[in-house]
Structures are given as structure tokens and as C-alpha cells.
């Protein structure tokens, strides 16, 4: 069985992530969508909230396991005995960071390969931060995130006020 990990902060999950997940499912028999407990930035939603949103949004897709990990992605992949990592590339600006991450991960976990999927052109400009900013300022995020995520963003920003 061919398996891969799709890691990320998913703070929150957007249609950009879902597009990568759906296309990765054409390549792999099983996909672990893994939420990094401590990502590169401070998160708005805690790890339980991010996992819960992913689980609800992905409930109708078989072949997917939603999980979370702390520490290094390479160690997580070794523990899970998985050889492939999925990452989406949006623009040239993503490339340097992604290349560095892919090379570092394969150094830390020899044999771990990263498979890159190009982001759909309609999601090129999309990012979780942009979505959070729009939601915070009362804008409509329905084009960017599933309805459930839009609701959680609304609730989250209400609490903040």
C-alpha cells in the first residue's frame, strides 16, 4: 500500500489544501493529513481545533487519516514508516523554503521523498493568513474555506473582541 503524509499548520484548512489532498489521493492509497502542533508561526486555532475542522471537512473522503505530530516531521515519518511527504507549491517564492525542507527531511530520514503538487491557479494567492485577516475584518471567506471553517473563524474572532 502506497502511503504519504501531508503535513502543515492548517490554521485553518482552506480550499487550497483540499485541492492538494484530492489530487494526492489519485497518487496514494492512503494519506495521513498531519497537523504540526508547533508550526513555524503562532497559531490562531489550537491543535485540537485544527484537527477537528480537518476531520469534519474530510469526513466524506475515504483513504484519509487526520492526525497531529509534535517535533520533527522526519521522526514522525520514521515512526509511521512512511516514505513520502506531499507538499503544495504556489509560487516561485515557495520553492526555496520547500527545497530546503525536502532536503533536510531526507537527510534526517534517509529515503524520505517529498512529492510536490502545483497549486491550482485559482488558489495561487490564497493563504490561511489572508483568510484570517478577511474574517477578522468581517469579510466573506466563503470562496476560500468550507462553510464549517468560516463559522469557526467567525466564532473565534467574536471571542477575541
Q: Which residues bind ligand COA (CB under 6 A)?
A: 7-11, 14, 16-17, 19-20, 36, 39-40, 72-74, 88, 90, 101, 104-105, 119, 123, 126-129
Backbone φ and ψ for 62, nearest 5 degrees, come out as -75, 175
User: Residue 119 carries which DSSP code?
Assistant: P
93 grid coordinates:
517564492
60 vs 121, beta carbon nearer ligand COA: 121
Torsional class of 111: left (φ above 0), alpha (ψ -120 to 50), beta (otherwise): left
Annotated catalytic sites, by residue? 17, 41, 90, 128
Beta strand ranges found along the chain (DSSP E): 3-8, 30-36, 64-69, 84-89, 113-118
Minimum CB separation of residue 151 from ligand COA in Å reads 18
Q: Least Å distance between CB 46 and ligand COA?
A: 15
By beta-carbon proximity to ligand COA, the closer residue of 101 and 154 is 101
Cell of 10: 492548517
Q: Minimum CB separation from ligand COA for residue 21, in Å? A: 9
Q: How far is the CB of 145 from ligand COA (least distance, A)?
A: 10
- Residue of minimal Cβ distance to ligand COA: 16
Nearer to ligand COA, 67 or 127 (CB): 127
> What Å distances lie between residue 148 and 4, 15, 42, 95, CA to CA?
26, 12, 22, 31
Amino acid at each position: 500500500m502506497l502511503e504519504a503524509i501531508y503535513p502543515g499548520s492548517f490554521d485553518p484548512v482552506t480550499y487550497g489544501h483540499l485541492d492538494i489532498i484530492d489530487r494526492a489521493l489519485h497518487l496514494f492509497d492512503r494519506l495521513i493529513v498531519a497537523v504540526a502542533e508547533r508550526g513555524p508561526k503562532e497559531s490562531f486555532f489550537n491543535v485540537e481545533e485544527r484537527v477537528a475542522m480537518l476531520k469534519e471537512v474530510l469526513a466524506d473522503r475515504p483513504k484519509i487519516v487526520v492526525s497531529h505530530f509534535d517535533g520533527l516531521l522526519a521522526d514522525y515519518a520514521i515512526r509511521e514508516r512512511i516514505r513520502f511527504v506531499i507538499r503544495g507549491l504556489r509560487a516561485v517564492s515557495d520553492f526555496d523554503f520547500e527545497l530546503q525542507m525536502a532536503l533536510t527531511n531526507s537527510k534526517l530520514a534517509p529515503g524520505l521523498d517529498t512529492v510536490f503538487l502545483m497549486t491550482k491557479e485559482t488558489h495561487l494567492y490564497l493563504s490561511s493568513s489572508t483568510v484570517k485577516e478577511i474574517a477578522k475584518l468581517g469579510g466573506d471567506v466563503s470562496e476560500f474555506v468550507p462553510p464549517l471553517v468560516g463559522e469557526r473563524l467567525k466564532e473565534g474572532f467574536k471571542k477575541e473582541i
